[in-house]
Every structure is written in C-alpha cells, then in structure tokens.
Amino acid sequence: MAPGTRKTRPPRLGVTWFGHSAFLLESPRGKRVLVDPWLTNPKAPAGALETGSVDLILVTHGHSDHVGEAAAVAGRTGAKVLCIYELYLYLSGLGVTTAMGMNKGGTAEVDGIQVTMTDAKHSADIDAAGAVVPGGEAAGFVLRFENGYTVYHAGDTCAFGDMKLIKQLHRPDLAILPIGGLYTMGPREAALAVQMLAPRTVIGMHYGTFPVLTGTPAELRKHLPGKLRPRVRELEPGRRIDL
C-alpha cells in the first residue's frame, strides 16, 4: 500500500432489532429493509415507528405481531411489501398498493437485493378487527444483498429438516432464529437449527416480548457445541450493529 493511502473497509450490512421479530436491515448500498414490522411491541425503542425511509418490507405471516404496522409504513414510505400471496390479497384490500405476492421457493429482486421465500412451520391465519381470515402459510425469507452477504430470517417456526436445504441452496452468513419457546422453537431446537444451517452469525428473536417467551440467547449458547457459541450475538433493541 502506497504511503499516505488508507485501506478502506468493504461496505457492511447494518442490523437493528426493534424487539420481537422486527428487524431493519441496511444494505451496503443504503437500501433499507424492514422485516415483520411490529414496531409498537413492548420491547420496541421509542420512535421505532418513525424509523425513516424504507425501501422494502417483508412479512413472514399474517399474525398481528408480525404484520404489525406494515400497511402504515408502506403508506408513509412507498416501500414495496413482499409476502405470501394470500396475505398480499389482504393487504391490497387495506389499500396497500405496493404489495406483491409470492410463494415458497420463489425469488424476487428489489433494488439489487434478491429475496427468496422459504418454508416455515407455524400457523398463519390473519387475526385482525376481531376476526380470523385465511392467510396462506407461514414463511421465512433469505435475502442476498448487493455484496453477496446472505441473511436468513426464519419467521415463526420450529426446527425442520429442510433447513439443511436452505444451507445447501443459500449458505446464509447470518441466521435470525426464534428462540422464545411456546409459540415457536426454544433454545434447544434453535441450537439444532444452527447446526443444520452453519451460519457465521446467529441472532435470536421472538423472545422476551411477553413473560411466556422465556428463551434467551444465553440458553441458546448453552445448547450449542463450544465452537459455535461465539457466533451468537445478543442485540439491544434500537442499537445497530454492522456485520
């Protein structure tokens, strides 16, 4: 390296947890992706709902703690919304003109980011306005960013054997996995998921929002082999980390 020059760091992915399953992913080129935007959950930091510009919203399934404020944020920002087809129909009925339906195994490209919908094992009907309406099936998403960095947001799920296929097909650098228990897998199952996926970094979600969601990142580490324990990152709601 020539004298007086500085080695520049490659662009990185910014990750901000807003509590529960809500994440803001900021791409190396500045694109902003919201996943499961329940931004008024009990763990959400003040001001989460006014998070600024958003380019893309992903919704894993129709439960209200995942759809959250997707319609309001899309209306305010003009962000495209990707979700399973039946949920797209529901959101379109609410006036979300930027929603687009897709299904498992399908890939959409938005602003240079490739988004693939994966399977998830969970119920998925839409609970809204005091009624329950069909919402298709629960899903997860794999996002491949402009620099090749790949994120798997599992949505609400138990561990399932086809996570090995997600590893084979996508080789995620980061896996975001539910660990709370009761409504999703807890730390013991999530540890098995980590071993199937073999990501470089693991972030737990869907825990601590309510007393019944008792799993913790510390318990996840306890169930992992020693060499995998350092891969678990524990996030503070509202504080960005770079990966």
| CATH code for the domain of 230 | 3.60.15.10
pTM of the predicted model as reported, rounded to 2 decimal places: 0.95
Per-residue pLDDT at 177: 99
Q: Is residue 8 part of a domain?
A: no
122-145 CB burial, b ≥16 within 10 A, e <16: bebbbeeeeeeeebbbbbbbbbbb
Residues 55-89: pLDDT tens digits? 999 999 999 999 999 999 999 999 999 999 999 99
Cα end-to-end distance, the chain, whole Å: 25
Per-residue pLDDT at 4: 45
Q: Is residue 196 part of a domain?
A: yes
Work out the angle between the directed axes of helices 163-170 and 187-197 (0-180°, nearest 10): 40
3-class SS at 76? helix
Per-residue pLDDT at 10: 62
Angstrom distance (rounded) from CA 1 to CA 7 = 8
Q: Is residue 4 part of a domain?
A: no
Instruction: Pull the structure tokens for residue 238.
Output: 């509202």
**Dihedral sign, Cα of residue 19, residue 20, residue 26, residue 28:** positive
DSSP state of 1: -
Where do we find the tokens 């798997």? 152
Instruction: Pull the structure tokens for residue 232.
Output: 């678990």
- CA 46 to the chain's CA centroid: 20
DSSP state of 226: G
Number of domains observed in the structure of the chain: 1
Per-residue pLDDT at 3: 46
Q: How confident is the model at residue 129 (pLDDT cuts 50, 70, 90)?
A: confident
Residues 94-121: pLDDT tens digits? 999 999 999 999 999 999 999 999 999 9
Per-residue pLDDT at 222: 98
Average pLDDT over residues 185-213: 98
Angstrom distance (rounded) from CA 118 to CA 152 = 9
Q: Is residue 147 part of a domain?
A: yes
The whole domain housing 228 covers 14-242
Per-residue pLDDT at 2: 47
Q: Is residue 9 part of a domain?
A: no
Q: Is residue 3 part of a domain?
A: no
Per-residue pLDDT at 159: 98
Work out the angle between the directed axes of helices 85-93 and 70-77 (0-180°, nearest 10): 70
3-class SS at 202? strand
Beta bridge partners of 109: 114
- CA 74 to the chain's CA centroid: 17
Q: Is residue 45 part of a domain?
A: yes
Q: Is residue 7 part of a domain?
A: no
The rounded mean pLDDT for the chain is 95
Q: How confident is the model at residue 8 (pLDDT cuts 50, 70, 90)?
A: very low
3-class SS at 86? helix
Average pLDDT over residues 179-207: 98
Angstrom distance (rounded) from CA 95 to CA 103 = 21
CB neighbours (10 Å) of residue 59?
28
